Amino acid sequence: MRVAVPLEIKAGEKRVALVPDIINKLTRLGYEVVIQSGAGDNSQGSDAAYTAAGATVVNGDVLAGADVVLSVQPLTPAQMATLKSGAITISFLSTVTAVDSIDAAIKAGVTAFSLELVPRISRAQSMDALTSQALCAGYRAVLVGAEMSPRFFPLLMTAAGTVTPAQVLVLGAGVAGLQAIATARRLGAVVSAYDVRPSSADEVKSMGATFIELELESLEGAGGYAREMTEERAAKQRELLTPYIAKSHVVITTAAVPGRTAPRLMTQAMIDSMEPGTVIVDLAAETGGNVEGSKPGEVIVTSGGVRIWGGKDVPSQLPFHASSLYSRNVVNLLTLMTTGAKDGAPVALNLDFADEIINASAVTHGGQRRDPSAGGAK
């Protein structure tokens, strides 16, 4: 049974779905692993390293005849059309933005799994690619802020006098936000953070940051995510946060609601309250932006001298470790649905839709769009 890993073709995507040092987990199960030549070049996975790890490296197409296809980005409709009926794909596959790929999977009779839909339960933690990639994004966000800021982050005592530490504010204390807090603290900044979920306060404080408490209702949601807020509450939140933003040197925004446009946390008026030379890093720029005026992949400089960095393909900017973590996520998910080769019996796929993880993450199967709540097709 063949597992194929194609070269990622989306502009800016530098990750690979399978790194060389995890190949043996699949070959031990009985899979044949085929890698398209050059697929790992950006993440330090050479063709020679894949060959040494037991994979077969192929120039050109690897999709035809594949039983399982692992990728980071969704396969394009044209790529889906080349797969055989009954093949399985595992990738990021947004049910909002990847509709064409989903429709193509249905037409081709492909079972497509979405890593965005892996449930947030203890048993699925090792398969949670959203979490592993958010960790990369949070770390990268602080490095960007530190590089763009004209200030030192840490307190420095010098013969010429004392250099005061930078004030860093993190909005959103999920995985990306917590990693941003930890990284900014390691660099010596004074860090404060806000989240609409008061339950995150203990985690923020445990990292040495100050949790900002606003007298607003909690928005605790399912699976550890925040619920969407009303515009009235959003306006009040922005009003109460403005004084904290005005005194910050770097603001990092990380707020997201799965399957929806990112919440607007900062308006132009809030941005204008900041001093010239201050920096805003918007990790949600690709999904609508937490910050008014931010654009994915661009640095916007306001008339007041505030620089806004719009995140685009942020985990992909750390392709080595982002790929390593992602590989483990996809292999763990594939292993869950695999019966390994044993006693002369070949490796086999076992799509048990009674399993909560398999049921929740399978978007298509048998030529139909699935409805996980019904345990099958819509």
Each residue's pLDDT tens digit, 186-197: 999 999 999 988
Q: Where in the chain is the domain with CATH 3.40.50.720?
A: 2-127+319-377, 136-317
- CATH code for the part of the protein at 136-317: 3.40.50.720
Name the DSSP class of 26. Answer: H
Q: What is the pLDDT of residue 92?
A: 96
Q: What is the pLDDT of residue 197?
A: 86
Q: Can you tell me the distance from the alpha carbon of 49 to that of 319, in angstroms, rounded to the nearest whole number?
A: 16
pLDDT digits (tens, 9 = 90+) for 340-349: 999 999 999 9
Instruction: Give the mean pLDDT of the chain.
Output: 94
Name the token pair of 348.
């086999």
Q: Of 2-16, 142-156, 245-259, 351-365, which range is least confident?
A: 245-259
- Whole-angstrom CA distances from 300 to 244, 266, 282, 310, 356 are 21, 14, 11, 8, 43
pLDDT band at residue 376 using 50, 70 and 90 as cut-offs:
low
Query: Do residues 135 and 179 lie in contact, with contact meaning Cβ atoms separated by under 8 Å?
Result: yes
| Residue 377 pLDDT greater than 80, yes or no | no
Mean predicted confidence (pLDDT) in 253-258: 86
Q: Can you tell me the distance from the alpha carbon of 105 to that of 67, in angstroms, rounded to the nearest whole number?
A: 14
| Residue 305 pLDDT greater than 90, yes or no | yes
pLDDT band at residue 98 using 50, 70 and 90 as cut-offs:
very high
Q: Which CATH architecture has domain 2-127+319-377?
A: 3-Layer(aba) Sandwich (3.40)
